[in-house]
Amino acid sequence: MITRLDRVSARLPDFPWDGLTAYAERARAHPDGIVDLSIGTPVDPTPAVVRDALSAASDAPGYPLTIGTVATRQACIDWLARRHGVTGLDLGGVLPTIGSKELVATLPSQLGIGPGDLVAWPELAYPTYAVGVALAGARGVATDSLTSLGPETPALLWVNSPANPTGRVLPPEHLKKVVDWCRERGTILVSDECYLECAWDATPLSVLHPSISGDSHDGILAVHSLSKRSNLAGYRCGFVAGDPALVGELLAVRKNLGLIMPGPQQAAMAAALDDDEHVVEQHARYAARRARLREALESAGFRIDHSEASLYLWSSRGEDCWETMSWLADRGILAAPGSFYGVAGSRHVRVAFTATDAAIGKAEERLRAR
């Protein structure tokens, strides 16, 4: 008998990381243990300025507002202006979210997109874009070519720069063309910018930058997360910013669903956004780990493609990604197969450099030993 749960699970793809169990077991069998580079989870301490802010706000007996505090939203606006040159945002164009993944997964539904609507996302992409489309009952397509859509106009288009998994940064002129294309057709453009401050060989711009979006943010949303930049993955702090009308739609839905960032986390997020020092320090840590791991991978015969930003090295040995996964597992290293992110990734693996210095050192030794 088919149950309701069966029908729900049939709408969703398998959770990719469940398929890594056998490779993880092989890697754990290494005499010196596993080096897990498969997920970009932060391992360094949460900044003291953030923990202090959380503690100071911990007496929070009342319900917080879905729209968030003025201080939290103003911190988002100030950060985008100070660090990324974004102008023209006001308090009505910012909404705190419970991390960014829940927003990505539910955004189509929250914007009223459903059966019959088309949603497009990059050819190589974070799997949650497809999850959001499936939950909404919409149609989806992974493509890097807008011309491939033909005469059909998507209701929503995702862009992701810096990109997960490739680390690719889209040039400003390309982003501007995408903005113009979407506005001409009435397509909602959503830019996933969670790695905006994790850049190494390029300078990414937000889609909200005036050189890209012009003098308004009409039809555009940008999604941000503090998980990577501030080691706040455990706090679930993110926000969406852009067109006040679209933000208003999200707010109306989220009020009814009770999707509210807790007040103490809002205070912590504001403190994190207001402080640049910890970001510079964390950036330097990641830069050093990235350089060490990249050199070791290249010495072992890997080619690194893109990877000018994000927290990953998009790596290939010129073979099927599962063969590479096996090669790495035999050396006690676990990565993420490129096929998780689309068919075009079938000859790459995504290698995270978010591990500790000691773990990166172990990976270096094993890669150099071949």
* Assigned token pair, 9: 């699970």
What pLDDT, on a 0 to 100 scale, did the predictor assign at position 156?
A: 98
| Domain containing residue 308 | 4-45+278-369
Count how many domains the chain has: 2
Q: What is the pLDDT of residues 173-216, one digit of tens each?
A: 999 999 999 999 999 999 999 999 999 999 999 999 999 999 99
Q: What are phi and psi of 210, to 5 degrees?
A: -60, -25
What is the CATH classification number for the domain harbouring 164?
A: 3.40.640.10
Tell me the mean pLDDT per 10 residues along the chain, length 370: 54 71 95 96 96 97 96 98 97 97 96 96 95 95 91 96 98 97 97 97 97 97 96 96 98 96 97 97 98 98 98 98 98 97 97 98 93
What pLDDT, on a 0 to 100 scale, did the predictor assign at position 276?
A: 97
- Answer with the one of 228, 248, 274 that is the final residue of a domain: 274
What is the CATH classification number for the domain harbouring 346?
A: 3.90.1150.10
Whether the upstream peptide bond of residue 165 has omega within 30° of 0, thus cis, is yes
- Cα separation of 76 and 78, whole Å? 6
What pLDDT, on a 0 to 100 scale, did the predictor assign at position 367?
A: 97
Residues 223 and 115 in one domain: yes
- Cα separation of 268 and 265, whole Å? 5
- Answer with the one of 274, 297, 320 that is the final residue of a domain: 274
- Cα separation of 75 and 234, whole Å? 20
Residues 264 and 292 in one domain: no
Residues 197 and 326 in one domain: no
What pLDDT, on a 0 to 100 scale, did the predictor assign at position 273?
A: 98
Residues 34 and 164 in one domain: no
What pLDDT, on a 0 to 100 scale, did the predictor assign at position 47?
A: 97
Question: Side by side, which strands form the sheet with 156-160?
Answer: 94-98, 237-242, 220-225, 188-192, 156-160, 118-121, 139-142
Runs of H (alpha helix) within the chain: 4-11, 21-28, 48-56, 70-84, 101-110, 128-136, 172-185, 210-213, 244-257, 263-274, 277-299, 321-329, 357-369
By CB atoms closer than 10 A (0-12, 13-18, 19+), residue 305 is middle
- Answer with the one of 259, 274, 289 that is the final residue of a domain: 274
Residues 144 and 202 in one domain: yes
What pLDDT, on a 0 to 100 scale, did the predictor assign at position 150?
A: 87
C-alpha distances in Å from residue 28, one per residue of 32, 133, 329, 348, 363: 8, 35, 8, 22, 13
Do the beta carbons of residue 26 and residue 329 sit within 8 Å? yes
SS3 of residue 314 by DSSP: strand
Runs of H (alpha helix) within 137-223: 172-185, 210-213
Residues 33 and 134 in one domain: no
Residues 21 and 79 in one domain: no
Residues 76 and 116 in one domain: yes
SS3 of residue 188 by DSSP: strand
pTM assigned to the model = 0.94
Residues 120 and 227 in one domain: yes
Residues 266 and 300 in one domain: no
Residues 90 and 195 in one domain: yes
Question: Cβ contacts of residue 199 below 8 Å, gap of 6+?
Answer: 162, 169, 308, 309
Residues 180 and 107 in one domain: yes
